[in-house]
Structures are given as structure tokens and as C-alpha cells.
Amino acid sequence: MPTLPWTVPNTPPTGAEAHVMASRFETRTLWGALRFFAKTPSVWRQVSKAPGAYGASVKAAPLRRTFWTLSAWESPDALKRFAGSAPHGPTAGGLRSQMKDAKFVRWQTTTDKLPLDWAEALRRLS
């Protein structure tokens, strides 16, 4: 399973609150998974420069048509701004019809606990 390792776009302050979001996406078809996979690099470049992003990682199982994201943000507003801006916003909208299932979970932690643990995120998503 390809995994894009935890990337730190902005060094978080020590002991600060971090807002975490994890997601799981399953596409309807293999073609949908290939489209999702093809769009990942542009969104990954965006998150690597996103204001307020403390870190992010992506897991992909394209042949199983499933993708996971895990990210930490300085605030819910920083995450919302990222999600609505290009290329993420238009890409997500364009892939919506390809989705069979999507799940999102959010929680809070402290920046001292970054990078985030995939095992914890997958547990919360199950």
C-alpha cells in the first residue's frame, strides 16, 4: 500500500492544540480509484504549502479502491479554508460521483503528539 509519509508544512508551536481530521474514501469502480489516484499529487502539493497545516499523510490502496487521509491543523478554520480552495475543493467536487463511501472523523490533540499515529486514525475510522 503506497503511503505518502507525514509531511510538516508549518512547524507547530510546542504544546499547542491541534485539530485532527482523518478520512476514508472508497470509489465505486477501479476507474474512479485511478482518477482519485491521479488527482492526489496536485492536492498533496497544495497541502504541503497550506497555511495552518501542521502535518499530513495519505495512504492509498488503489486496487482495493480505498484511500485514507490524516492531517493536523492549527484550527478548524484552517482546515475549512484548505478544503474549499483549489485544487482540493474543485477536485473533491469532481470526484464526488465516483465515491461509493466516505467517512470523516475529527478530534483534538496537542502538537506534542505529532506526528499522528495511523493505527489510531484507522481505529477511529472503523
- At a CB cut-off of 8 Å and minimum separation 6, what does 45 contact? none
Q: How far apart are CA 57 and CA 63, in angstroms?
A: 19
Task: State the chain's mean pLDDT as an integer.
Answer: 96
pLDDT tens profile 5-61: 999 999 999 999 999 999 999 999 999 999 999 999 999 999 999 999 999 999 999
Q: Count up the domains in the chain and report the number.
A: 1
For residue 112, what are the domain limits? 3-125
Helix (H), strand (E) at residue 7 = strand 3-7
Residue 7 near residue 51, CB atoms below 8 Å: no
pTM metric for this prediction: 0.95
Give the domain CATH number at 116: 3.30.70.100
Average pLDDT for 57-82 = 97
Give the pLDDT of residue 39: 94
Q: What DSSP string describes 26-74?
A: EESSHHHHHHHHHHHHHHHHHHTT-TTEEEEEEEEEGGGTEEEEEEEES
Average pLDDT for 83-106 = 97
